[in-house]
Structure 1
Amino acid sequence: MQDVFITGSGSYLPGRPVDNREMEARIGLISGHSRKLKTLALRQNGIKTRHYAIDAAGNYQITNAQMAANAVTAACDAARRDSRQLDYLSCATTQADQLVPGHASAVHGELGGSPMEISSHQSVCGSSMMAIKSAYLNIRAGEHRVAAACGSEFSSRWFQPGFYGEIDFSSMSPEEALQYEFLRWTLSDGAAALVMETAPDSSRTCLKIDWIEQKSFADRFPNCMFAGADSNDPEEAKPWAHFGSPQEAYRQGALLLRQDFVLLEQMFPVWMGYFLEVLDKRGLSPGDIRYFLPHYSARSLGERMKTLLTCSSAMIPEERWRNHQSEVGNVGSASIFLLIDKLIRDATVQSGDRILCFVPESGRCLASFMSLTVV
């Protein structure tokens, strides 16, 4: 089995940063509750700026696949590789540009270059670590020598008012409308990528991948963050394609992205229990970790995470946490890639530093961890 090293990272964030005052010009208002719930969501998520691939006039500037390809190119440049040298490409996203074919095919098509093996990973935030682990295992097993993994999102296109035209918000309470509104004021667009190889480059900072752990708890939970069905009731939910036509699925609200906040709260103890399980399995203590890169969907949820870790005597010192969601927004599957890229570029990491990445996903409850060591 070969060791695996991250030799390059890259990001692509479309357009200039959009502040909270400009958000309405990009995604509009959908209900009489919108401005009130925007204020509530921004207070909870702590986001100050984010990036959108839709301009102020509503024009689509780029595709999801093109953003991913740009990020992969940037990561290859950082690794001093040409994309034609890639043997393997794994791509993560919440929703590709097209229903068929797979997202990785579209990204490879944008990259061009040469034939390679690919894999597509579709989930929510956790698809990022699925893609990373796929590339990691392929190199570790000796199947390939140079691989790239990327995560990309084009969330803002989900949030245009026309998607919500058949929903009667007038009869909803603010609490009911929040399941639609919160994600609109939280998710944003962008992409990032990592290049992995069998050996580090001694002339620059590289990261050895020590291990990756991932576990789904979908056996315990129905859908929490979901789109493509009219509800998340396991007994009654109807997939969008079962409505007879896309128009009928649209009329029934089956195409909308939403979040069940009651279920979300129930997932935190499960995630923290898995956190303790991983620490015990890998013989790690909080003091061993020099940098902690947690992805969370909102600042308030990060605070909840800190409370539970403190109560469990597993709190990593807060000064070791790194999260820049306030600057770039919640970019879903791209978020952990963005965090790693920023750490490599901005932090004074030193050889031997241990980095722990944590990606919980509320889609249907899963969590991922990755341990890295600076070399």
Structure 2
Amino acid sequence: MYDVFITKASTYLPNEPVSNDEMESYLGLVNDTPSKARALILRNNKIKTRYFALDKNGKSTHTNAQITAKAVEGLFDDQFKKEDMQLLSCGTSSADQIQPSHSSMVHGELNIGKSVEINTSTGLCNSGMNALNYGFLNIKAGIKDNAVCVGSERMSAWMTADKFNHEAENLKLLEERPIIAFKREFLRWMLSDGASAFLLEPKPRENEISLRIDWIDFYSYAHEIEACMYSGCEKQEDGSLKSWAEYPAEEWLNQSIFALKQDTKILDKYILVKGAESLRTSFDKHELDPDSIDHVLAHISSGYFKEGLKEEFANVGLDFPWEKWFYNLSEVGNVGAGSIFIAVEQLMNSGNLKKGERILLCVPESGRFAYSCALLTVC
């Protein structure tokens, strides 16, 4: 078995940062009416700027595959040329199409002139970590000499007003208030576009910072809890999900079936406590001392969870002082599967890391409550 190192990281964020006041200029007004929930949601999530692959007319400027390819291209240099790439592993929850796979489309965008192995991880926020794990295991087993792993999102195109206007019009016809449900609107003000890529190799780079991946663990609580975040379906009274394929085609628009939705009631109840439970399991499994951790990078969807997450960790004996936490949510926004990659890239290239330091990664996924965590060592 080989050691595995992140030897280079690269981030691509499309266009210029978008402020809170500008958001509806890009996403548009549902039913030509300013959102009443927007200010409250933004105040709670504490996001100040984010990135959209849109112009101010709501027109797309990049596909997810293009954003991802841009991040990958940032890895190429004199030590690692594009034709050297052996494995491309991509994770996203917002692929541009149902089929073919996201990694296929990214491979096509890269124009590297050769065949490579590809892997696509789908789902929600953990899809990026799953893509990383696939590359990690291939290098560790000696199957590949290098792997490029990417987490990306392009959710803005899912959140433009035209995706919800038909539902609002249908509510008018039913003589109901033409306001889309909170479970749909909530996420319009939460999500951001971007991608970040890691180069994995079995040796660290000389005279440069590399990060050794010591382990990656995953946990799912789908055996205990119903779905919380979902798309392409509608949640039923008993908590089950009814697939888009079971609805007449006209209902896809009437009920915004393909919109990304979140059940905020069970989100609050489970997201933090199960995250702490899973992390405690990993610390016990690896006999890891919390005091040995120098940097804590935890993906959170909203600043609303920041204090609560620290408290829940402390409740299971993992009381990390604030000076060890690294957050970039307020500037970058919630990039889903790409968030933890972007945070690692920023810290890795900050010039603040010292050899021997340990970096803890924590990623929750509210789809049906799945979690991942990893330990990196600075080399």
Query: Once the two structures are superposed, what CA deviation does each residue of 1:42-65 show, in whole Å capped at 9, x if it has no partner?
Result: 111111111100010222111100
Secondary structure of the 1:350 match is coil
In 2: Cα distance, 1:230 partner to 1:136 partner? 35
Q: Tell me which moved more, 257-266 or 24-33.
A: 24-33
Q: Deviation per CA, 1:242-295, whole angstroms, max 9, x where unpaired?
A: 2243x4322232111111011112222222111111111111222111111000
One-letter amino acid of the counterpart of residue 57, structure 1: N
Match of 1:111 in 2: 110
Per-residue deviation, 1:230: 2.0
- Which residue pairs with 1:276 in the alignment? 280
Alignment deviations for residues 204-228 of structure 1 (CA, whole Å, 9 cap, x no partner):
0000000000111111122211110
- Whether the 8 Å contact between 1:224 and 1:232 is mirrored in structure 2 is no
SS in 1 for 2:38: helix
Structure-2 change in CA distance of 1:73 and 1:28 (3 Å): same
**Structure 2 CA distance, aligned partners of 1:326 and 1:139?**
34
Question: 1:128 deviation in Å?
Answer: 0.9
SS of 1:346 mapped into structure 2: coil
Q: How many residues align?
A: 372
2:181 to 160, 173, 177: 177
- Stretches of structure 2 that go unaligned for 5 or more consecutive residues are none
* Counterpart Cα distance in 1 of 2:57 and 2:23: 12
What is the Cα deviation at residue 231 of structure 1? 1.8
Aligned partners of 2:226 and 2:240 also within 8 Å: no
Q: Where does residue 295 of structure 2 map in the other structure?
A: 291
Task: Say yes or no: does 1:365 pair with 2:365.
Answer: no
The unaligned stretches of length 5 or more in structure 1 are none
After superposition, the Cα gap between the structure-2 partners of 1:31 and 1:274, relative to the gap in structure 1 and judged at 3 Å, is farther
Q: Give the corresponding residue for 2:100.
A: 101
Q: Decide whether aligned partners of structure 1 residues 310 and 34 sit closer, same or farther in structure 2, where only a CA change above 3 A counts.
A: farther
Indicate conservation of the 8 Å contact 2:31/2:178, yes or no: no
Report the CA distance between 1:33 and its aligned residue.
Answer: 8.5
SS of alignment partner, residue 7 of structure 1: strand
Whole-Å separation in 1 of the counterparts to 2:334 and 2:64 = 16
Preserved contact between residue 230 and residue 253 of structure 1 (Cα < 8 Å): no
Q: Deviations over 1:183-223 (max 9, x none)?
A: 11010111111000010111200000000001111111222
SS in 2 for 1:305: helix
Alignment of 1:1-375 (within 5 A): 1-30=1-30, 35-77=35-77, 80-113=79-112, 114-168=114-168, 171=176, 177-231=181-235, 233=237, 237-245=241-249, 247-267=250-270, 268-375=272-379
Query: Contact conserved, 2:150 with 2:195, CA < 8 A, in 1?
Result: yes
- Taking structure 1 as reference, are residues 218 and 81 closer, same or farther at Cα in structure 2, changes over 3 Å only? same
Aligned partners of 1:121, 1:326: CA distance in 2, in Å? 27
* Aligned 8 A contact 1:222 1:233 in 2: no
State the alpha-carbon separation in 2 of the partners of residues 229 and 96 from structure 1: 17
Tell me, in whole angstroms, the C-alpha distance in 1 between the residues paired with 2:238 and 2:199.
39
Point out the more displaced range, 277-286 or 38-47: 277-286
User: Which digits, 9 at most, give the CA deviation of each residue in 1:97-155, with x for residues without a partner?
Assistant: 11110000001111121111110011111101100000000111111001000011111
8 Å contact from structure 2 (residues 2, 141) kept in 1: yes
- Residues 32 and 222 (structure 1 numbering): CA distance in 2 closer, same or farther, change over 3 Å? farther
**CA–CA separation in structure 2 for the residues paired with 1:312 and 1:236:** 31
SS at match of 1:40: helix
> Aligned equivalents of 2:223 and 2:167: distance in 1?
31
TM-score between the two structures when normalised by the length of structure 2? 0.93
Distance (whole Å) between structure 2 residues aligned to residue 142 and residue 220 of structure 1:
37
Distance 2:33 2:220 in 1: 34
- Identity, % of aligned positions: 38
SS of structure 2 residue aligned to 1:183: helix
The structural deviation recorded for 1:347 is 4.2
| 3-state SS of paired residue (2:214) | strand
Provide, for residues 287-335 of structure 1, a one-character-per-residue CA deviation record: whole Å limited to 9, x for no partner.
1111110000001112210121233331211111001010010000110
Q: Does the C-alpha gap of structure 1 residues 31 and 217 become closer, same or farther in structure 2, counting only changes over 3 Å?
A: farther
TM-score, normalising length: structure 1: 0.94
Instruction: Quote the Cα distance in structure 1 between the aligned partners of 2:240 and 2:267.
Output: 20
Counterpart-to-counterpart distance in 2, 1:156 and 1:369: 27
**SS at structure 2 position matched to 1:292:** strand
In terms of mean alpha carbon deviation, does 310-319 or 110-119 score higher? 310-319
**Kept in 1: contact 2:89–2:134 (CA 8 A):** yes
Contact 1:48 1:327 in 2 (8 A): yes
